[in-house]
């Protein structure tokens, strides 16, 4: 793969020499050969010129779900990685919510083999417990050796506090990262949306922020006792931000993420009873959105994720109470973040997180592997079904005005431009 990017504005805040400079970038056989003001295209080199072309290091998403194996009608690994690449992501962490769940080393090998040779690289998470049943720990060490980057019972509460304690203690032997979903099911009960004025008005059962914050507080106490590395995915409440900020001040090894949609939408969007807005954790009040955005800006919240969850129409086009939770988000992630934040902050959020999962960090230097995302940060548009590349179409962003379009990626010796 030989490519010459012409007049690309580089967005790389960590590289002061190149940040916000327009440069030509020559890539030969997947390696950055030259970066210069005006480079001539050698023979057998594809020249790429785009309107308002910007380039950054490749983007990373810490929470992506597909369907294969078991739910291929929702999304295959091949089409999922194609969608991720066209959405600007060069690396994605794959959630363990398939059928069967990946709870052995052979399952991890299967997922890595299915994603091998693609422009977007897949990094699978292994199930924390066997069959994600929350009873016995899965083969954590073997899965780590096979390539699992963390361990997680996807969107399921670790109900047994001793299980979390043992997992944190055991994973320290091989520097493993444990995920714990922030939700107490006993407090959640049969709730489907955020508990508050909107849920009361709509007559829908509520999930109080207490259900999340109680679990977060418990997990942080266990982490303080046991040690280890803990990641709390997709927090949604102001109280959770405060609890995690206090834990970090204590020096605990904890990170957390929030979903783009929990920053962008509040529970007021539920007034239309559109099941695409049913997610877990739920969309919360505007005050929570503000607290989450503040937490992102001050670094309390480590990563922002698309929390991409494809679901077939049979699980979404039903009564709100009966619909499954989840929204796709890869295709809209950049446009939504770029609408909320300045472009430099947006790129910072989209490129951070790899180190937590021990994934190689790309570099913007000559001689390094080319790992780039190409985009136009100024283009505004209304997100429509035609913008969705996923097999499933359950996006809450349909009809929303967004800012920023992705051209594609260059990574792993390939491009999809």
Q: Point out the residues that are catalytic.
A: 307
Burial class (CB in 10 A: 0-12, 13-18, 19+), 49: exposed
Residue where the block lists tokens 């919510």: 97
Please say whether the beta carbons of 227 and 178 come within 8 A: no
Buried b (16+ CB within 10 A) or exposed e, 341-368: bebeebbbbbbbbbebbebeebebeeee
Phi, psi of 128 (to 5 degrees): -70, -40
Write down how long the chain is: 417
Residue where the block lists tokens 């909320």: 340
Please say whether the beta carbons of 128 and 152 come within 8 A: yes
Q: How far is CA 121 from CA 84, 85, 107, 156, 288, in A?
A: 10, 9, 17, 26, 33
Please say whether the beta carbons of 62 and 53 come within 8 A: no
Strands (E), 65-162: 89-94, 121-124
Sequence-separated (6 or more) residues with CB below 8 Å from residue 351:
56, 57, 58, 59, 60
DSSP 8-state symbol, 268: G
Sequence-separated (6 or more) residues with CB below 8 Å from residue 6:
24, 47, 48, 49, 53
């Amino acid at each position: 793969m030989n490519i010459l990017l012409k007049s690309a504005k580089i967005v790389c805040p960590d590289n002061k020499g190149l940040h916000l400079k327009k440069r030509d970038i020559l890539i030969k056989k997947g390696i950055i050969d030259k970066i210069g003001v005006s480079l001539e295209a050698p023979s057998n080199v594809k020249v790429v010129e785009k309107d308002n072309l910007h380039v950054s290091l490749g983007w990373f998403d810490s929470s992506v779900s597909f369907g294969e194996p078991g739910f291929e009608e929702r999304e295959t690994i091949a089409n999922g990685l194609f969608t991720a690449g066209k959405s600007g992501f060069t690396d994605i962490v794959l959630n363990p919510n398939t059928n069967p769940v990946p709870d052995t080393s052979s399952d991890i090998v299967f997922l890595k083999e299915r994603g091998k040779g693609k422009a977007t690289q897949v990094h699978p998470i292994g199930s924390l417990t066997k069959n994600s049943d929350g009873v016995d720990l899965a083969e954590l060490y073997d899965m780590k050796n096979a390539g699992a980057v963390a361990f997680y019972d996807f969107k399921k509460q670790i109900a047994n506090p001793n299980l979390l304690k043992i997992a944190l203690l055991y994973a320290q032997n091989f520097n493993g990262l444990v995920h714990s979903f922030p939700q107490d099911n006993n407090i959640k009960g049969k709730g489907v949306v955020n508990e508050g004025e909107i849920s009361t008005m709509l007559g829908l059962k509520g999930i109080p922020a207490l259900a999340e914050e109680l679990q977060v507080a418990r997990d942080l106490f266990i982490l303080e006792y046991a040690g280890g590395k803990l990641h709390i995915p997709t927090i949604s409440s102001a109280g959770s931000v405060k609890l995690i900020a206090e834990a970090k001040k204590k020096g605990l090894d904890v990170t957390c993420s929030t979903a783009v949609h929990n920053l962008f939408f509040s529970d007021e969007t539920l007034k239309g009873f559109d099941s695409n807005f049913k997610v877990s954790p739920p969309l919360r009040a505007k005050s929570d959105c503000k607290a989450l955005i503040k937490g992102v800006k001050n670094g309390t919240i480590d990563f922002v994720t698309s929390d991409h969850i494809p679901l077939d129409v049979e699980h979404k086009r039903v009564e709100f109470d009966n619909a499954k939770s989840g929204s796709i988000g890869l295709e809209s992630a950049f446009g939504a973040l770029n609408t909320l934040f300045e472009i430099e902050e947006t790129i910072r959020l989209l490129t951070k997180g790899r180190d937590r999962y021990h994934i190689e960090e790309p570099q913007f230097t000559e001689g390094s592997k080319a790992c780039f995302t190409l985009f136009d940060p100024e283009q505004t548009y209304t997100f429509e079904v035609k913008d969705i590349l996923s097999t499933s179409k359950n996006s809450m962003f349909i009809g929303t005005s967004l800012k920023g379009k992705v051209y594609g990626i260059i990574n792993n010796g390939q491009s999809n431009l």
